[in-house]
């Protein structure tokens, strides 16, 4: 037996008991006649004491040779600490060691295995197995486990059945590039890794499984950023014989359950917001409603003066920043520079200070009087002490820019508090979006999304106005889940493929298996998928997902720990009938 207890469970009730512990040396303090060692495992840290007067000489000498991250086993007696440590769960006791076994030595780690480490992100990703020993990463992985277990418990209690779907599938267009896998046994043919289990969960509904879920890996070969990985995990769900309201109720319940069980927070019913309202009021379809700063459109009160920038703009729109009238010119200029960055792309910004005495001071005082600026304040709901920030230009582009500014200002004002949670549903998305480059419509979600029943007649006449029977769950400005009622009728699905530019032959080649299944009595069905990585990070109060993934990849999609992706040898390429052309 390597241990009778773990390193996080001993307390005063164990005093005078003989125990066996095993773990890693966190640190060692040698005072000559006394050696203290902090022993760490997943569960905590326990202090060991080696006393020249009370410890066998061979054991005492061996203790002096221990280095950081050595793996050891000790036996000894639990005694009361003279200097207790209230910051440790085991801080009332220590182990007077009688036996010491070196299980494995360690070279000096490339960074300190401490909560506050001296290791940068690159070196910690290279030695991720060492980084996992640190409490912040270890606790993030344990937190992820807890969330996943609560998801499984909630859904299983509602009679959902967890079913595994295949990873080696057919390449089908779902919005991103597929990762492809060559088949040795089928010369010149390829599998694809699933971007989602979309078609399989629909087939499970055809198969009569009624309620399906899966915590599953998905793969998309797309450009990365801090909150995106080439492989990610979904909580994937599908239900038969349901309408949109049924699905919203189930998964609102799941989110409410997680907030209660994981964070101890009770949330009332989630507000619902149409896509059009979200875009007009917040500039994006995943608004953060922990704070106000709603958009105020100013065309009617800012145009038709002598200010040509506004007169020529499709949209003039502003937000009121709470209490920012005290901003200095330097702070204002910093925000103007921020919106001019290529990532935002604004050409400039107009501001209006709403002074405490009810007057206004703006960067365009030459063109607008106090009555004009008062109307701007009314349109943006600005109060005395606030600052109005105004952007103008093409409508869609300007809303996107002001949305970015809104989030940046909220961050600077400390309004994006990680301990606050503001969920909502965004509904009534457009079914289609027009792509100028290809000259045809694309599915805004995916080609299996059902139109709103009341918009069905518009498919033939005004397809751009058709709303999707789709919905997204948003939490703190992040889309954490999305789904739709699916098309279950073969004829409607054929019309949708045609609308998206698929010829009958292309539709048959790529989705014939699904269309064939629909001929055998497909039930009405729909579902939703949560992004587990993102959900866990938000619940954990973090902006990025990496610390909640055991072995993440960097922004280039590389695993620097195992050096992947990597070249394969010529013999493997020959077996796969692949010849590389790297010119």
Whether 480 and 538 have beta carbons less than 8 Å apart is answered as: yes
Task: Give the model confidence (pLDDT) of 313-357 as tens digits.
Answer: 999 999 999 999 999 999 999 999 999 999 999 999 999 999 999
Whether 271 and 298 have beta carbons less than 8 Å apart is answered as: no
Quote the distance between the C-alpha of residue 375 and its chain's center. 40
Check pLDDT > 90 for residue 172: no
Q: What is the largest CA-CA distance in the chain?
A: 94
Full DSSP string of 95-151: EEEEEEEEEE--PPPSS--SSS-S--HHHHHHTHHHHTTSHHHHHHHHHHHHHHHHH
Q: What is the pLDDT confidence band of residue 226, given thresholds at 50, 70 and 90?
A: low
Nearest to 106 by CA among 134, 55, 71, 146: 71
pLDDT at 39: 98
Task: Give the model confidence (pLDDT) of 265-298 as tens digits.
Answer: 999 889 999 999 999 999 999 999 999 999 999 9
Average the pLDDT over 153-157 and give the result.
98
Check pLDDT > 80 for residue 174: no
pLDDT at 9: 97
Nearest to 473 by CA among 463, 483, 461, 486: 483
- CA distance linking residue 563 with residue 547, whole number of Å: 19
- Cα separations (Å) of 345 from 283, 308, 349, 401, 554? 15, 20, 11, 7, 26
Full DSSP string of 256-284: HHHHHHHH-----PPPEEEHHHHHHHHSS
Helix (H, G, I), strand (E, B) or coil at 340: helix
Task: Give the model confidence (pLDDT) of 476-519 as tens digits.
Answer: 999 999 999 999 998 999 888 888 888 889 888 888 899 999 99
Average the pLDDT over 82-99 and give the result.
96
pLDDT at 369: 96
Task: Give the model confidence (pLDDT) of 37-77 as tens digits.
Answer: 999 999 999 999 999 999 999 999 999 999 999 999 999 99
- Whole-prediction pTM value? 0.92
Check pLDDT > 90 for residue 441: no
pLDDT at 498: 87
State both tokens at 356: 């405490």
Whether 215 and 144 have beta carbons less than 8 Å apart is answered as: no
């Amino acid at each position: 037996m390597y241990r009778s207890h773990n390193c996080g469970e001993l307390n005063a009730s164990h005093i005078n008991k003989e125990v066996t512990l095993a773990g890693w040396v966190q640190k060692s303090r040698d005072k000559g006649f006394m050696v203290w060692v902090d022993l760490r495992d997943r569960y905590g840290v326990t202090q060991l004491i080696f006393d020249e007067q009370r410890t066998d000489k061979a054991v005492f000498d061996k203790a002096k040779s221990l280095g950081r991250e050595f793996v050891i086993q000790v036996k000894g007696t639990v005694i009361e600490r003279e200097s207790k440590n209230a910051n440790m769960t085991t801080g009332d006791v220590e182990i007077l060691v009688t036996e010491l076994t070196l299980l494995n030595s360690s070279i000096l780690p490339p960074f300190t295995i401490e909560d506050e480490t001296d290791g940068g992100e690159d070196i910690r990703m290279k030695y991720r197995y060492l980084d996992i020993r640190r409490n912040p990463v270890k606790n993030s992985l344990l937190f992820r486990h807890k969330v996943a277990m609560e998801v499984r418990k909630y859904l299983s209690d509602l009679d959902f059945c967890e079913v595994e779907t295949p990873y080696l599938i057919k390449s089908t267009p779902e919005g991103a590039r597929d990762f492809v896998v060559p088949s040795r046994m089928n010369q010149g043919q390829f599998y694809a890794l699933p971007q989602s289990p979309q078609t399989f969960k629909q087939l499970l509904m055809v198969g009569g499984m009624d309620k399906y879920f899966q915590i599953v890996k998905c793969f998309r070969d797309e450009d990365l950023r801090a909150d995106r990985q080439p492989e990610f995990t979904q909580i994937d769900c599908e239900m038969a014989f349901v309408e949109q309201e049924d699905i919203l109720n189930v998964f609102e319940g799941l989110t409410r359950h997680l907030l209660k069980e994981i964070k101890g927070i009770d949330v009332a019913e989630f507000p619902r917001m149409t896509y059009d309202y979200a875009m007009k009021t917040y500039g994006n379809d995943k608004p953060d409603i922990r704070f106000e700063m709603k958009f105020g459109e100013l065309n009617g009160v800012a145009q038709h003066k002598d200010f040509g920038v506004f007169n020529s703009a499709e949209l003039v729109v502003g937000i009121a920043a709470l209490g920012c009238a005290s901003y200095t010119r330097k702070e204002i200029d910093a925000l103007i520079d921020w919106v001019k960055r290529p990532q935002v792309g604004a050409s400039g910004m107009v501001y209006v200070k709403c002074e405490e005495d009810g007057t206004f001071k703006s960067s365009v005082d030459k063109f607008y009087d106090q009555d004009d600026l008062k109307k701007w304040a009314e349109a943006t709901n600005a109060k005395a002490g606030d600052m109005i920030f105004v952007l103008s230009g093409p409508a869609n582009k300007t809303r996107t820019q002001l949305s970015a500014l809104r989030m940046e200002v909220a961050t600077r004002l400390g309004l994006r508090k990680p301990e606050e949670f503001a969920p909502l549903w965004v509904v009534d998305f457009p079914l289609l979006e027009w792509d100028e480059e290809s000259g045809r419509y694309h599915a805004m979600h995916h080609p299996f999304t059902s139109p709103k029943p009341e918009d069905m007649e518009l498919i033939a006449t005004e397809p751009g106005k058709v709303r999707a029977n789709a919905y997204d769950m948003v939490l703190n400005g992040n889309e954490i889940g999305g789904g739709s009622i699916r098309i279950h009728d073969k004829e409607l699905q054929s019309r949708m493929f045609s609308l998206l530019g698929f010829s009958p032959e292309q539709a048959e080649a790529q989705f014939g298996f699904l269309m064939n299944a629909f001929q055998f009595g497909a039930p009405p069905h729909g579902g939703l998928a949560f992004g587990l990585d993102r959900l866990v990070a938000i619940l954990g109060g973090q902006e990025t997902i990496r610390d909640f993934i055991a072995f993440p990849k960097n922004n280039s999609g590389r695993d620097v720990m195992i050096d992947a992706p990597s070249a394969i040898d010529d013999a493997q390429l020959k077996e796969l009938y692949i010849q590389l052309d790297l010119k």
